[in-house]
Amino acid sequence: MDEKKYAKLEQGMSPKTPLVRNMVFAFLTGGTICLIGQFISLFYMSFFDFTERTASNPTVATMIFIAMLLTGFGLYKKIGQFGGAGSAVPITGFSNAVVSAAIEHKSEGYVLGVGGNMFKLAGSVILFGVFSAFAVALIKTILVKLGVVSW
Amino acid sequence: MVRKGLLTFKTMPSIATTGVTAGPLEKQSPFSDQFDKIYDDERCDTKTNEHAHAKMMEDACMIALSKVDANPSDADYLLIGDLVNQMTPSNFSATTLAIPYIGMFSACATSISTTIMAALLTEMGMSKYAVAGASSQHNAVERQFRYPIEYGAQKPETAQWTVTAAGVAVVTPQKKGTPSITCATIGTAVDLGMTDPLNMGAAMAPAAADTLYRHLKGHQTKESDYDCIMTGDLGKSGFEIYKKLAGNKGIQITENFRDAGAEFYGDDPLFLAGASGAGCSASVYFSEVIGKMMKGEYQRVLLIATGALLSPLSFQQKDTIPCIAHAVELTMK
Amino acid sequence: MISIFITAFIVGGLICVIGQLLFDVAKLTPAHTLCILVVAGSILDGFGLYEPLIDFAGAGATVPITSFGNSLTHGAMAEAEKHGLIGVLTGMFEVTSSGISAAILFGFIASVFFKPKGKI
């Protein structure tokens, strides 16, 4: 049996990804997390001296804190299995990636284990975020200097 | 007669006793009442997952040897393996047990590859007590092959749960009233281009079907000669593919076909396709199957353990997953 | 006031659905998916489209990881506007320092108090 024939047979027999179900659950989970974020941001705007724009910083930090607790108590992986991208895409998923790697590698010590591995999942997000920000800002700056576009 | 990968044991070495230990989550397995020891703590009250891994193996060996009133100092060979880098858990338990030791790696097929080697040493008259087996510990294996334990990645229905269990068998020269090893087939590595590490069953199924076919043909037996033909850890979805592939080769699929991984956690949908890991086949073969043979429910069985020979590195370098399956035949004559 | 909660839910949910499609249809790993979304957020900001989305959806746009790419780019561009090319480099973390510092800090704290549990 060759590879192509087997791939066909395998795809015919393995359980299909429940795409619609996954999308609905991702929508509900992600939407709920963002809704919670909106409530937190309202809280910071009403009780502290934050504007609509600046409230996003403490909101993000608070959500990261909540995700840390959920990860530590073993609940975030359950949300992840249910919600898929709905729990991976919000900033709480970033927090889950950092926290889960950090507690996983505690047994190798705080320096080599926690320090060395904390960003093993989330690091690529920072790398590509920074690089694309650099590229985009650079192109825009050059275009502005050339007078093609304005800020 | 020399035949490719086919072994026949004229002296019929026996599996005199077995020892099986398992973690707390494995309490819910339908086989759990046949395990010798179940820990309440997933780290077996040690500091790290890896220490727990080694302790489970040590305890399984001690339990198995104690059943034939033997000490580790009486044993001639220790042939064990696991899935962690450089097999440190097996190495550390070998240090404690101080039995002459060779670590063996065939991924999740290690339970059978070690049994075959133990049978060979016994057949040659060079071993009185050879301890063979394999183990896996969920946390230690999962963190190495996939993501951190607490990372919320969505697993598909084909994903399997690495068991926390160790199973060993004490292989001795022929002994009445115990299952004896009559023949075996060493598998060839099969790779049909599967790449998804969350669908190992589909990757391993062709290897299992291939070894089953070679065993039946090579040893001139029929599938109906066996009371049970049990694969290792194909899982629910892989098991179906394996039966289909075996059927395509002209093998009759009956109720006697079983899969340890598919049955390990019962029908609990949380475990998706079922169990996997080196300890999965080892713990089921050396409790459920041997138990049924001792009770006389099974006279003749064929055990086919399957292993996926990948590493996280080979996966990230986009290599496909080669797989292996080794088979051993036991009889109660 | 109420409408921002509704748009936050819908926009946030839709961004996650895009992520789910990248998981299931494009068969990407979570890491690849998140990288693509971050880069997408950054490019959208280059065209000046992400800030209007925040005005429209609030946390629905600031909570998904796309907002991380947006704020990095936004910081870089704001600084570049003031100081020229060098600002591209220096401005990057101007806006978005809180996410990373919180993640590092809480990750470390978590490692002190928690252990991974192999429960289902």
pLDDT of residue B236: 95
Residues A85, A36 share a domain? yes
Q: Are residues A82 and A53 in the same domain?
A: yes
Asked if B118 contacts B16 with a C-beta cutoff of 8 angstroms, the reply is no
Same domain? For A68 and A131 the reply is no
User: Residue B333: which pLDDT band, with cuts at 50, 70 and 90?
Assistant: confident
Whether residue A71 and residue B150 make contact (CB cut-off 8 A), yes or no, is yes
Q: Which residue in A72, A84, A100 is closest to B151 by CB distance?
A: A100
Give chain C's domain count.
Answer: 1
Give me the domain span that covers residue A27.
3-120
- CB of C34 within 8 A of CB of A88? yes
Prediction pTM value: 0.93
B275 touches B233 (CB < 8 A): yes
Q: How many domains does chain A have?
A: 2
If pLDDT is split at 50, 70 and 90, which confidence band does B123 have?
A: very high
* Cα gap B119→B103, rounded to integer Å: 16
Q: At which residue do the structure tokens 């024939």 appear? A: A5
CA angle C55, C104, A39 (to 5 degrees): 35
Domain B180-331 of CATH type 3.40.47.40: yes
Same domain, A106 and A146: no
Partners of C58 in beta bridges: none
**Residues A149 and A110 grouped into a single domain:** no
**Domain extent listing, chain B:** 11-172, 180-331
Token pair listed for C112: 């002190």
- Mean pLDDT for the stretch of residues B186-202: 94
Residues A126, A110, single domain; the answer is no
CA distance B289 to B18: 11
Please report the pLDDT score of residue B93 as a whole number: 96
- Note whether A8 and A27 are same-domain residues: yes
In this predicted structure, what is the pLDDT of residue C96? 79
CB atoms within 10 A of CB C4: 18
The reported pLDDT for the residue numbered C120 is 73
Q: What are the distances in angstroms from CA B139 to CA B168, B266, C68? A: 21, 21, 32
For residues A133 and C27, give the distance between their C-alpha atoms in angstroms, rounded to a whole number.
26
B151 vs A14, A15, A77: nearest CB: A77
The range of the structural domain enclosing residue C97 comes to 2-113
- Check CB contact under 8 Å for B149 and C117: yes
In the stretch 11-30 of chain A, residues with CB closer than 8 A to chain C read 17, 19, 22-23, 26-30
pLDDT at B1 over 60: no
Q: Kindly determine whether residue A124 and residue C31, on different chains, have CB atoms separated by under 8 Å.
A: yes
Neighbouring chains of A at 3+ CB pairs within 8 Å? B, C
Q: Tell me the average pLDDT of chain B.
A: 95
Q: For residue C63, which residues of chain A lie inside 8 Å, CB to CB?
A: 33-34, 37, 59-60, 63, 90-92
Per-residue pLDDT, averaged over B232-261, amounts to: 96
Give pLDDT tens digits for B35-91: 999 999 999 999 999 999 999 999 999 999 999 999 999 999 999 999 999 999 999
pLDDT tens, residue order, chain A (151 aa): 789 999 999 999 999 999 999 999 999 999 999 999 999 999 999 999 898 888 889 999 999 999 999 999 999 999 999 999 999 999 999 999 999 999 999 999 999 999 999 999 999 999 999 999 999 999 999 999 998 888 7
C-alpha dihedral sign at B263, B264, B267, B269:
negative
Same domain membership, residue A28 and residue A89: yes
CA quadruple C67, C70, C74, C77: dihedral, nearest 10: 170
Q: Place B245 in a pLDDT band, splitting at 50, 70 and 90.
A: very high
- Count of CA atoms in the C-beta half-sphere (13 A) of B138: 23
- Contact between B8 and B182 under an 8 Å Cβ cutoff? The reply is yes
Confidence band, pLDDT 50/70/90 cuts, at residue B2? low
Judge if A35 and A78 occupy the same domain: yes
pLDDT in tens, B20-41: 999 999 999 999 999 999 999 9
Same domain? For A150 and A101 the reply is no
Q: Is C120 domain-assigned?
A: no
Given phi > 0 = left and psi -120 to 50 = alpha, else beta, which region is B230?
beta
Residue A125 to residue C31, Cβ atoms within 8 A: yes
Question: pLDDT per residue over C5-46, tens digit each?
Answer: 999 999 999 999 999 999 999 999 999 999 999 999 999 999
Domain co-membership, A94 together with A133: no
Do A90 and A138 lie in a common domain? no
- Nearest by CB to B149, which of A17, A78, A104? A104
In degrees rounded to 5, what are phi and psi of residue B21? -120, 155
- The first and second tokens of residue A59, run together, are 């909101």
CATH T-level fold of B11-172 = Peroxisomal Thiolase; Chain A, domain 1 (3.40.47)
